């Protein structure tokens, strides 16, 4: 086995994902490991794709949006993928900023309610 390939177990450990997660990403064709009998091997391409998938999920992107970036890269190359990424990232940042604003309001309201309730308990 080449040093640049990871086994199924190594891939799970490297990305701290469950075997079920890794199999699911394969099932929906986001990852395409090399196969040797029942064994799967993940090369640099699959490691890069997994990094993109996990970052995208952490940043709130749906798997279909992530699939779109991977397909753009496969069909049109890096430049087109980066252009799509910038557009999608800009839109997602707006969504996250609105969520943050709403969370700040909820935190402020909850803190005020808790403080009022705590004060009434002391009275």
Domain locations in the chain? 1-58
92 CB-near residues (< 8 Å, 6+ apart): 59, 60, 61
Give tens-digit pLDDT for 84-115.
Answer: 999 999 999 999 999 999 999 999 999 999 99
For 8, other C-beta atoms within 10 Å of its C-beta total 17
The CATH T-level fold of domain 1-58 is Multidrug-efflux Transporter Regulator; Chain: A; Domain 2 (1.10.1660)
Instruction: Please write the tens of the pLDDT for every residue from 23-73.
Output: 999 999 999 999 999 999 999 999 999 999 999 999 999 999 999 999 999
C-beta atoms surrounding 6 within 10 Å = 23
Residue 54: closest CA among 15, 86, 81 = 15
How far is Cα of residue 15 from the mean position of the Cα atoms in its chain? 11
Position of tokens 């999920």? 57
Average pLDDT, integer, range 114-121: 96
Output the pTM of the full model.
Answer: 0.83
> Quick one: pLDDT at residue 1?
44
């Amino acid at each position: 086995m080449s040093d640049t390939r990871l086994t199924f177990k190594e891939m799970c450990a490297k990305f701290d994902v469950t075997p079920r997660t890794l199999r699911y990403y394969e099932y929906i064709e986001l990852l395409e490991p090399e196969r040797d009998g029942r064994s799967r091997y993940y090369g640099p391409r699959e490691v890069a794709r997994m990094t993109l998938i996990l970052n995208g999920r952490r940043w709130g992107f749906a798997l279909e949006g992530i699939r779109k970036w991977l397909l753009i890269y496969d069909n049109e190359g890096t430049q087109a993928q980066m252009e799509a990424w910038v557009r999608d990232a800009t839109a997602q940042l707006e969504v996250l900023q609105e969520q943050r604003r709403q969370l700040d309001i909820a935190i402020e309201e909850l803190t005020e309610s808790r403080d009022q309730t705590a004060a009434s308990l002391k009275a």
